[in-house]
Amino acid sequence: MKQKAYVAGVGMTSFGKHLDRTLKSLAGEAITQALTDAGLDEKELEAAYMGNAAASLITGQVCVPGQVVLRELGIGGIPVVNVENACATASTAFQQASSMITAGVYDVVLAVGMEKLYHPDKQRTFDVFKGAVDVDKYDQVLAQVAEDIRNAGVEPNLEGAGQSRSVFMDIYVTWAVEHMKRYGTTQRQFAAVSAKNSYHGSLNPRAQFRTELSVEEVLAAREIAWPLTLPMCSPIGDGAAAVVLVSPRKAREIGIEGKGVQVASSVLASGWDYKDGNAPGLVETIARQAYEEAGIGPEDLSCIEVHDASAPSEILYYEHLGLCPRGEGGRLVEEGHTRLGGTIPVNTSGGLLRKGHPIGATGLAQIAELTEQLRGRAGERQVEGARVALAENGGGYIGRDSAAIVVSVLTR
């Protein structure tokens, strides 16, 4: 369904370790910023889609996290939908809010992603990620990961998986070694992703890590699970992001129709069991749908935010999104094409690798970054002449693919 919603306002906290702040405090900051940016009063909100993935394990808040946050701000009397969809939680809230406006149900809708992942007991945090696979088949997941790594010619080492590191890092290892075996991609090319994103993150005042790293420094860092070193793995984080979406009618009323940031497409889908390993996968499939609905192709994109939960992930997404042929993602980053000033800058925010990854907030943080790019307000990390942007945000893992993916296209 072609979307007909405008981004009227965005807000976002800094991402990082906020042990002294509550979920209500973080979300409230982002919501207040978004409403102020939109020039709208909270009384004009007609519905809210409130994304959170981990509060039940980290803070103990269950069932009504969205209502709890909004009531603290004096917002009530409207439909509040709590959204949980793994790392695609916030982008799902965005897609649902935009679709309801497109369907003509509402004129002004709030979409929020909020998360606290830091906890004195680190096992609670790791348990969040363990819960993003089929828990009834957890041992089978680890066995399959080990088999995939072994089939790529690498001896698996799953010691610590799910206990001293997120189990998803081991899943990303399978993606990495399979790509290395099939296409000759190198560890140095993975490191080039982390180095590039560290440069972008150094320009982002809301990023969790702002130190720029060289390729050599990334390669020399502590190994997590070969070929991944620490800077190749996204850190957890606490934070929130919010977007106020409006209908064309409301856009006319507030003076942004035709010159504001518009949602051209936003597609949500879940994975499936593949029978043909060479057939287009989940990201490729819905990216094509998002391009078609927006009436564009990958060649029209000005900038992109992708779900770089690991450095190899970003390289794979280059290929899935059609930025280059299969197998050429490593070359694309190594030659500087995805860096600021390159042909198609990717993760100008610093990405998950440097901005951080509070999973329930990540998708809307991408939308906030791209909105600032399209408005020409991204400061030192501005992409010159940005007109069309894409966000890809995925979450969970079932079978051999993500459990949920959202691809959204924004235009100005």
Question: Distance (Å, rounded) from C-alpha 170 to C-alpha 158?
Answer: 7
Token code pair at residue 169: 């890092």
The number of residues in the chain equals 412
- The answer to whether residues 50 and 114 touch, using CB atoms and an 8 Å cutoff, is yes
Q: Is the peptide bond before 325 cis (omega within 30 degrees of 0)?
A: no
User: Which H or E run contains 305?
Assistant: strand 303-305
Closest residue by Cα to residue 245 from 112, 405, 82, 110: 110
DSSP letter at 114? E
Strands ordered across the beta sheet of 239-246: 80-83, 47-51, 108-115, 239-246, 5-12, 261-270, 401-411, 388-398, 303-305
In this structure, what are the phi and psi dihedrals at residue 220, rounded to the nearest 5 degrees? -85, -5
Closest residue by Cα to residue 314 from 222, 231, 381, 385: 231
Question: Distance (Å, rounded) from C-alpha 153 to C-alpha 17?
Answer: 38
CA 373-89-22 angle, 5° bins: 90
Q: Strand 80-83 vs strand 47-51: parallel, antiparallel, or unpaired?
A: parallel
Token code pair at residue 201: 């993150």
Question: Distance (Å, rounded) from C-alpha 96 to C-alpha 81?
Answer: 10
In this structure, what are the phi and psi dihedrals at residue 240, rounded to the nearest 5 degrees? -150, 155
Active site residues: 87, 357
**With 0-12 CB in 10 A as exposed, 13-18 as middle and 19+ as buried, what is 22?**
middle
Q: How far from chain centre, in Å, is Cα 156?
A: 28
Token code pair at residue 109: 């809708």
